[in-house]
């Protein structure tokens, strides 16, 4: 059996200094505060760093400065397009800065989120972004004691740990339901999968509007703990129609479910929007491209990711955003699926 050499030796600041023929302190200054070093020395240090493959020791930096350049981002899914859009905003905002992004996937589990927060806390991050406002008490305590900026995204509420940027999920649910009522639909169902706290708030908005209109019926609500998908949306819509065959519209808790409902309508030759109205949530790209196009609530995911980084950077400079809770709002995208 071939033996591998495990005597690895990482490149040190001293190695870079020797290669650039300068002192260790000069290398440190060139990397940390390049403005205080001459352009010629900076070039020599940069060449040595590139040639040796030197990577700054984040743990050592943390001991020296109490923080690293890491911004931790904890989201519940790395495959959901909603959070892919958030990450696009995050990564574009850190481009050209000293920040580095590290991801944590909580998989929609509060305990996993707590574990990830503990991991990031040990790294002394420059900031932390967490999805949602429903952290466990233990998680909130850790986040409150980090000593760095923390931004909760995707939702807003009255009790921020530090800063928030999002929108009122309840109001988004109310807007979708009001839209269906305004278009003349009266027996309006709700279909939702993986009912996390944000989806639950959308459902609450739906309930509030139909109760106020005197049209609420618990039998019109069909939810599932399974992950959302187009296929699952079609299956759940078929089950919904079996339970409530005289329903005339449905509010789906996301666009995947809405697309599945539309496909099932087409299989059954149910005319949309003539016989049945469908509205989704999040306004993913395909909602405008489908036939008929699907009405949806547009949530500004990219904006939330980008501005969360900007809030952390500003707070790190001592320029804490005011207000600390930013409501980016939403937009109702009325399309063919509800154009009765």
User: Quick one: tokens of 259?
Assistant: 């697309």
Q: What tens digit of pLDDT does each residue of 41-69 get? A: 999 998 988 887 676 655 445 444 456 78
Bridge pairing between strands 70-75 and 100-105:
parallel
* Nearest alpha carbon to residue 246 among 214, 289, 275, 206: 275
| Secondary structure of 220-266 in HEC code, one letter for each residue | HEEEECCCCCHHHHHHHHHHHHHHCCCCCEEEECCHHHHHHHHHHHH
- Contact of 53 with 29, CB cutoff 8 Å: no
In the predicted model, is pLDDT for residue 198 greater than 90? Answer: yes
Q: Say what the pLDDT of residue 64 is.
A: 47
Q: What tens digit of pLDDT does each residue of 225-271 get? A: 999 999 999 999 999 999 999 999 999 999 999 999 999 999 999 99
DSSP assigned state of 2: P
Q: pTM score > 0.85 for this model?
A: no
User: Quick one: tokens of 314?
Assistant: 């500003």
- H or E stretch covering 14: helix 13-20
* Stretch among 16-30, 74-88, 193-207 having the lowest mean pLDDT: 16-30
Q: Say what the pLDDT of residue 55 is.
A: 61
**CATH tag, 67-167+301-328:** 3.40.50.2300
User: Quick one: tokens of 280?
Assistant: 């989704």
Tell the CATH topology of 13-56.
434 Repressor (Amino-terminal Domain) (1.10.260)
* Nearest alpha carbon to residue 215 among 240, 242, 178: 178
Q: Say what the pLDDT of residue 12 is.
A: 83
Percent of the chain, pLDDT > 70?
93
C-alpha separations of 271 from 10, 176, 188, 266, 267 in Å:
66, 20, 16, 7, 10
| Residue for token pair 């050209």 | 96
Name the phi and psi angles at 213, rounded to 5: -90, -5
Domain ranges of the chain: 13-56, 67-167+301-328, 169-299
| Residue for token pair 């109310």 | 174
* Nearest alpha carbon to residue 109 among 227, 209, 270, 231: 227
Q: What is the dihedral of CA 138, 144, 145, 150, to 10 degrees?
A: 120
Bridge pairing between strands 163-166 and 127-131:
unpaired
C-alpha separations of 108 from 126, 153, 229 in Å:
24, 15, 16
Prior bond of 149 cis (ω within 30°): no
Prior bond of 323 cis (ω within 30°): yes
- Report the C-alpha gap between 76 and 86 in whole angstroms: 12
Reduced DSSP (H G I as helix, E B as strand, rest coil) percent helix, strand, coil of the chain, to 5 = 45, 15, 35
- Report the C-alpha gap between 250 and 180 in whole angstroms: 8
- Which residues, including other chains, have CB under 8 Å from residue 186's CB and lie 6 or more apart? 215, 248
Q: Say what the pLDDT of residue 288 is.
A: 97
Q: Say what the pLDDT of residue 322 is.
A: 85
- CATH class name, domain 169-299: alpha beta
- Report the C-alpha gap between 265 and 85 in whole angstroms: 29
Same fold, 13-56 and 67-167+301-328: no
Q: Say what the pLDDT of residue 303 is.
A: 97
């Amino acid at each position: 059996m071939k033996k591998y050499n495990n005597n690895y030796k990482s490149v040190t600041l001293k190695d870079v200094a020797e290669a650039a023929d300068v002192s260790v302190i000069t290398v440190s200054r060139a990397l940390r505060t390049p403005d205080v070093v001459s352009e010629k020395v900076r070039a020599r240090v940069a060449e040595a760093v590139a040639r040796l493959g030197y990577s700054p020791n984040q743990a050592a930096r943390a001991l020296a400065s109490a923080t690293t350049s890491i911004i931790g981002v904890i989201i519940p899914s790395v495959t959901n397009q909603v959070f892919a859009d958030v990450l696009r905003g995050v990564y574009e905002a850190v481009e050209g800065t000293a920040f580095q992004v590290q991801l944590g996937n909580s998989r929609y589990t509060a305990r996993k989120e707590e574990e990830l927060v503990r991991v990031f806390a040990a790294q002394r991050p420059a900031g932390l972004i967490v999805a949602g406002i429903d952290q466990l008490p233990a998680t909130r305590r850790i986040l409150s004691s980090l000593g760095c900026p923390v931004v909760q995204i995707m939702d807003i509420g009255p009790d921020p740990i530090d800063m928030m940027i999002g929108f009122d999920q309840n109001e988004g649910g109310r807007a979708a339901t009001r839209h269906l009522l305004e278009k003349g639909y009266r027996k309006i169902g709700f279909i939702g999968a993986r009912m996390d706290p944000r989806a639950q708030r959308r459902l609450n908005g739906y309930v509030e509007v139909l109760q106020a209109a005197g049209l609420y019926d618990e039998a019109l609500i069909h939810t599932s703990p399974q992950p959302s998908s187009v296929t699952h949306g079609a299956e759940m819509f078929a089950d919904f129609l079996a339970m409530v065959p005289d329903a005339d519209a449905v509010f789906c808790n996301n666009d995947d479910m809405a697309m599945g409902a539309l496909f099932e309508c087409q299989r059954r030759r149910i005319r949309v929007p003539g016989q049945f109205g469908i509205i989704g949530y999040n306004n993913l790209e395909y909602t405008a491209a489908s036939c008929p196009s699907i009405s949806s609530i547009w949530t500004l995911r990219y904006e939330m990711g980008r501005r969360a980084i900007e809030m952390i950077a500003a707070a790190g400079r001592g320029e804490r955003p005011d207000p600390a809770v930013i409501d980016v709002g939403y937009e109702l995208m009325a399309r063919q699926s509800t154009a009765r």
